[in-house]
Amino acid sequence: MAIIIIDYGIGNLYSVANAIKKVTKEKVYITNDAKKIKLANRIILPGQGAIKDCIKELKKKELYWLLKEMIHTTNKPVLGICIGQHLLMESSEENKGVFGINYIKGIVKNYKNKNFKIPHTGWNIVYKHKEHQIWNGIKSGSRFYFVHSFYVKTRFKNNVLGVTEYGGKCANVITYYNSVITVQFHPEKSSSLGLKFLKNFINWLP
């Protein structure tokens, strides 16, 4: 039993692993080994890069359908970070349109406001939209670190745990459904509050 960080060939895998190791004594593995993934007690989908490449690598490593089945049929806690969040939505406008794992009902939209810098890079305020264990010890209005050019728009308000404003839009930066939490910002790059967020995920019992 361990915390598994899925390796699909891109992303900031080791910075996520190092952050997780600071907040837990559980074993942490970066892997694309299906047998180890099946034995995980928690799964993290990290992210930086293009969603099309992520899905291509997941399918190449024969992990796409495994993850889809596990996420839909088990109650293991899953955390999707940045691209990992986008993977779990219905679809994305990135790369001229890509279908996701389709667990959380929502789509990934392209920022179209030319008055704001894209990608959205740097610290921004995150407001609580709904109470949840993931917020333990974290105040609404706290700042987290972002690097992204697309944002999530969910179909149901009950799925939204946190929001932020950028480009005149209120983006759903934290979403939730059953045992899955997804987040647009990078907790592994968000200093002490990011570590608190990751610790809350490790301690979360869906």
Residues serving a catalytic function are 82, 186, 188
Residue 92 burial (10 A CB sphere; 0-12, 13-18, 19+): buried
How far, in whole angstroms, is CA 52 from its chain's centroid? 16
∠ Cα 97 179 27 (to 5°): 100
How far, in whole angstroms, is CA 59 from its chain's centroid? 19
Query: In this structure, which amino acid lies at residue 176?
Result: Y
The CA distance from 177 to 144, in Å, is 22
The CA distance from 19 to 14, in Å, is 8
The CA distance from 160 to 162, in Å, is 6
The CA distance from 84 to 82, in Å, is 5
